[in-house]
Amino acid sequence: MKKFINICLLSGTLLFVTSCNEDFVDVPVIDQPSVDNYYKSEADVKAATATLYGYPWFEFNDKFFWAAGEELAGNLYHTWDQEGQFFYYSYGDGNTHIQGGWRGLYRVVSYANAVINDMPVFASGKVPDAAINEAIAEARFIRASAYYMLTEFFGEVPIIENSTDLITSNNLFINKHTKNSVYEFIKRDLEFAAENLPPVQSQAGRVTSWSAKGMLAKIHVTIAQYLSQTNASEATSHFNAAKSLAQEVIQNSGLQLMTDYGDLFMIANNNNSESLFAMQFMGGAYGIGNSRQANWARSNIITGNTEAWGGYKSMTYDFIENMVKGDKRIKHIIMQNGDHYPDINKAQGGYTYKIVNRDPKDQNVVLESASATLNNLKKYVVGTSEDNNGNVTTGQAAGINQYVLRLADVYLIYVEAAIGLGESTTDATALQYLNRIRSRAGLSPKNSVTFEELLWERRMEFALESLYWFDLKRYYYRAPSKMVAVMSAQKRDFTYQRDQSGTAADENSVAGYILTESSAGGSIPFQEAKINLPIPASEKLANPKFEEPAVEYEFK
């Protein structure tokens, strides 16, 4: 087992920790003399917590987060290799990206644990207690966020509260813990963070007490849905807690929705008035930047470099069919024929999307081909280095933050909590919050909303932010058979084929293509057994206890 830490200081800021973890219980270790010398000031502690926002999240975010959050959920059409297994529900415990997601999230846990458990030992007496406590709260927020994703993707997972103690105990065979235990662990971390983080941070991008309360509202609404079929009274209590917390954030945080939805996804607007928690990325090198543009951009015409692997990635026909005319968000989620983007390729007057883009000097040369569903991805695609003041580089490094929690999410959490165990709500406050989101999108207000309608609202608002699978999981908790039926009925496997008849319309018109069912009925049956992703085979081989039933966690 390898233990290591490589602290890199750039411009006085601790940016990332280079890790070669080989399994999820490896911990970052610093030689004690180095640690003793490092934690000498509040700035040193701040530098340590800065590591929690970027590099540790990279492996999780690079492939797994969007493959599981968007492909599996039925938003993203992409059928290639092991990434495509999420689209077809054909993944198993040997899937490389499932392994990367598991390993990546436990890397985040390990880094947070190092701050929570090790930093105070070395900083005590040299750094004010208030600064130490705030750093612990910051790390507990990060750890809670990682565990939220772990349990929503994988179900029952092991809780590791102190990575160092686990290593030194020589007892690495630990059990999975029940979902109730994991939820309680997350809730305790977030409650501590809410009480000990400041309402405003001196450095943009760091989480605040409002971030913690917003995430805690999401946890309460998730627990409520999880209990909705077995304990209505306790579920109602959690719905009420979610409403109270969400309303407190909305009314008192001072945060505001961005006026223009598209502005949310520009590098220049990182850490804006709507952002409560985002992974912090920058251009420069592999591992410290956001790789979404490299994975999703249609071609190097957009990126200005060779890293553009999204030519055949698009939104599913099911997503396209669910869009409504006049929704201002759509252009910022996907590119469709005729859409113009002045902020991409600024020096050439912008980028205009065509289904098939031919070289104007030689019409026989196709520069960009048609995708399976005649659109390509836009969100998190930001253009060239020149378009972004150098904050896009090779090494799959774009300096655009990856949202985890936006204020818009908190608005819709309130709406979900207001619906509660019912089928719909006419709650005036809930509708006020819902209609603020709809108004920004250019949609008319509603005077009532059902849970299924809210699911649509969330699907559109957070498309390509990798949250839709979490929304579907909450649907499953409250109505398992309905969720399975919705997944099985998704028209995810419809594609367009070029009309080869002599009367075919232009190749840059949807009318020039024939909608085809790639699978029978264009749908792929979803099996309830797939509701949780499998623990990677390598982890089960290393720890046979993962094959045993989950146990309750013993809280200290």
CATH number, domain containing residue 132: 1.25.40.390
187/304 same-domain check: no
| Helix, coil or strand: residue 446 | coil
Taken in order 385, 391, 397, 398, is the CA torsion positive or negative? negative
Q: Which stretches of 409-506 are assigned E, i.e. beta strand? A: 424-425, 449-450, 494-498
Q: Which amino acid, one-letter code, is at 251?
A: Q
Q: Return the H-helix or E-strand segment holding 513.
A: strand 513-517
Residue 219: Cβ within 10 Å count: 25
What's the rounded Cα separation, in Å, for the pair 267 and 399? 6
Q: Which domain holds residue 18?
A: 1-197+521-550
Q: Which two tokens stand for residue 53?
A: 């926002």
Residue 516, domain member (yes or no): no
Are the C-beta atoms of 207 and 138 separated by less than 8 Å?
Answer: yes
45 and 132 Cβ atoms separated by less than 8 Å? yes
**Pair 46, 155 in one domain:** yes
Let me know the angle formed at the C-alpha of 363 by 361 and 366, rounded to the nearest 5 degrees. Answer: 105
- pLDDT at position 36, please? 66
Kindly state whether residues 191 and 42 are assigned to the same domain.
yes
Same domain, 10 and 143: yes
Is residue 65 predicted with pLDDT exceeding 60? yes
pLDDT one-digit tens code per residue, 410-432: 999 999 999 999 999 999 999 99
Alpha helices, DSSP H, located in 89-199? 96-113, 119-123, 129-154, 163-168, 179-196
Check whether 27 has a pLDDT greater than 90.
no
Q: Are 245 and 409 in contact (CB under 8 A)?
A: no
pLDDT at 35: 60
- Residue finishing a domain among 370, 400, 430: 400
Q: What is the pLDDT of residue 7?
A: 30
Q: CB under 8 Å to 189, separation ≥6 — which residues?
A: 140, 141, 143, 144, 147
pLDDT score recorded for residue 449:
99
* Angle, vertex CA 363, rays to CA 341 and CA 79, nearest 5: 60
Q: Are 400 and 380 in contact (CB under 8 A)?
A: yes
Residues contacting 386, CB < 8 A, separation 6+: 304, 346, 347
Q: What pLDDT, on the 0 to 100 scale, is given for residue 71? A: 98
Shared domain check, 527 and 394: no
pLDDT, tens digit (0-9, with 9 covering 90-100), for 253-299: 999 999 999 999 999 999 999 999 999 999 999 999 999 999 999 99
Q: What is the pLDDT of residue 519?
A: 80
Predicted local distance difference test score (pLDDT) of residue 9:
24
Residue 214 lies in a domain: no
Asked if 173 and 199 count as a contact pair (C-beta separation under 8 A), the reply is no
Spell out the residues 6+ positions from residue 344 whose beta carbon is closer than 8 angstroms to its own: 302, 350, 351, 381, 382, 383, 384, 387
Beta carbons of 370 and 358 less than 8 angstroms apart: no
Does the pLDDT of residue 31 top 80, yes or no? Answer: no
Among 480, 484, 466, 535, residue whose Cα is nearest residue 154: 535
* pTM of the predicted structure, to 2 decimals: 0.94
Closest-CA residue to 175 (of 529, 527, 535): 535
Burial class, 93, CB count within 10 angstroms (exposed 0-12 / middle 13-18 / buried 19+): middle
* Residue 423 counted as domain residue: no
Helix (H, G, I), strand (E, B) or coil at 355: coil
Asked whether residue 442 is assigned to any structural domain, the reply reads no
Is 13 found in the same domain as 153? yes
The DSSP secondary-structure symbol of 39 reads -
Q: How far is CA 374 from CA 26, 81, 95, 312, 371, in A?
A: 44, 21, 29, 9, 5
Dist CA 55 CA 37 (whole Å):
23
Number of folded domains that form the chain:
2
d(CA 197, CA 546): 35
Query: Does 481 reside within a domain?
Result: no
Return the DSSP state at 184.
Answer: H
Residue 279 lies in a domain: no
Mean pLDDT of all residues in 24-48: 70
Q: Which of 400, 425, 452 is the last residue of a domain?
A: 400
Domain-located, residue 45:
yes
Q: Which two tokens stand for residue 39?
A: 């934690």
Q: How many CB atoms lie within 10 A of CB 46?
A: 20
pLDDT of residue 242: 99
Choosing from 357, 381, 400, the residue where a domain stops is 400
Predicted pLDDT at 521: 84
Q: Domain for residue 503, yes or no?
A: no
Mean pLDDT for the stretch of residues 231-253? 99
- pLDDT digit string, tens, across residues 105-160: 999 999 999 999 999 999 999 999 999 999 999 999 999 999 999 999 999 999 99
β-strands 392-393, 513-517 pairing: unpaired
141 and 14 assigned to the same domain? yes
